[in-house]
Amino acid sequence: MSPVLELTAAAAERAAVDLEDATAEEIVAWAVQTFGARVCVTASMTDSVVIDLVSRAAPGVDVLFLDTGYHFAETLGTRDAVAATYPVNLLSITPVRTVAEQDAMHGPRLYERDPDLCCALRKVEPLERALRDYDAWFTGLRRDESPSRATTPVVAWDEARGKVKVNPIAGWTQDDVESYVATHGVLINPLLQDGYASVGCAPCTRRVAPGEGTRDGRWSGLTKVECGIHT
C-alpha cells in the first residue's frame, strides 16, 4: 500500500519531495495508480489542460465544476464542450441556495459587499460537499500565477478537508501551458482570447492590461486574491 494512502500530511510531504522533479504526466500517473477511483479533477474551465492530462491516464475520471450561478456564458459553454469532447464524467456542483435565494437571505450583490462570504457559499462549501467521496483531487494551480501560489508543491496535504491535493502542473509556466494547448489541441475558454487571463465568476473578473499578472483581473480593487478553496 502506498504511504500516501495513509492520508497524512507527512505522507503527502514525502510524495511532494519524491515527485518534485517528475513530469506532469508522471505525477498524474502516480496519483491515478495510488488513488484509483478515489481521485477527481476540479476544473474552473479556464482551460482543459489538467483535464486532458488526467483523462489520458484515467478515462472516465470525475471532473468537478463549481456552477456558482455567476459564470460567463463562455465558461458554461466550455464546460459543455469538455463534457462532449473528453472521456470524463463531468459533474456540475451547485450551491445549497440559488442566486435568488441567496439574494433573499443576504441581499443582492453579496459579491460586492462581502466577497469572502459569497465565495464561501458558492464555491467552498459546494466543493467540500462534493469532495467527500474522494481521497485526493487534481488542481491546475501553478507557482507562476501569483505570489500566494509561489510555493505550491506538486503534492500537498489539504488539512481542512483531510485530502491529498495533487498539482501536476505546479512548476509550469504560462509558456508551458500554451505549448501544451497548441500541441494537444486542448479546449480553452474563449475569454482567454478576449483579454482575460484567469476566468472566475463574471461579476468578479475583468480583462487584464498589458504587463499585469495572470490573476490581477480577479477581485480587482480588493485585497482578496483567493476564493478560499486553496487557502
pLDDT digits (tens, 9 = 90+) for 36-50: 999 999 999 999 999
From 98, 165, 96, select the one nearest 126 (Cα to Cα). 96
1 has pLDDT over 50: no
| 126: CB partners within 8 A, 6+ apart | 66, 93, 94, 95, 96
Name the active-site residue from 118, 119, 201, 227.
227
Cα-atom radius of gyration of the chain, to the nearest Å?
A: 17
* Cα–Cα distance, 231 to 14 (Å, whole number): 21
135 has pLDDT over 50: yes
DSSP label of 188: B
**CATH number of domain containing 53:** 3.40.50.620
In a domain, 197, yes or no: no
Q: What percent of the chain is predicted at pLDDT more than 90?
A: 82
What is residue 213's three-state secondary structure?
A: coil
pLDDT single digits (tens) 54-102: 999 999 999 999 999 999 999 999 999 999 999 999 999 999 999 999 9
- 8 A C-beta contact, residue 131 and residue 34: no
17 has pLDDT over 70: yes
The secondary structure element, H or E, covering residue 184 is helix 174-184
User: What value does the mean pLDDT take over residues 179-191?
Assistant: 97
In a domain, 225, yes or no: no
In a domain, 204, yes or no: no
- 8 A C-beta contact, residue 45 and residue 82: yes
Return the bridge partners of 47, or none: 188
In a domain, 145, yes or no: yes
Whole-model pTM? 0.92
Task: Report how many domains make up the chain.
Answer: 1
pLDDT single digits (tens) 193-231: 999 988 999 999 999 998 888 888 888 878 767 676 777
In a domain, 93, yes or no: yes
Residue reference for cell 504587463: 211
- Average pLDDT over the chain reads 93
From 68, 70, 37, 65, select the one nearest 50 (Cα to Cα). 65
- 8 A C-beta contact, residue 156 and residue 164: yes
In a domain, 111, yes or no: yes
User: What value does the mean pLDDT take over residues 126-132?
Assistant: 95
pLDDT tier for residue 4 given thresholds of 50, 70 and 90: very low
* Cα–Cα distance, 205 to 199 (Å, whole number): 6
- 204 in active site: no
In a domain, 199, yes or no: no
pLDDT single digits (tens) 145-164: 888 889 999 999 999 899 99
- Torsion angle of the four alpha carbons 56, 81, 209, 218, in this order, in degrees rounded to the nearest 10: -80
Q: What is the pLDDT of residue 146?
A: 81
What is residue 69's three-state secondary structure?
A: coil
Q: What is the pLDDT of residue 224?
A: 66
Strands (E), the chain: 39-42, 61-66, 88-93, 136-138, 155-158, 163-166
* Cα–Cα distance, 229 to 165 (Å, whole number): 11
Q: What is the pLDDT of residue 179?
A: 97
What is the extent of the structural domain holding 168? Answer: 3-190
pLDDT tier for residue 5 given thresholds of 50, 70 and 90: low
In a domain, 88, yes or no: yes
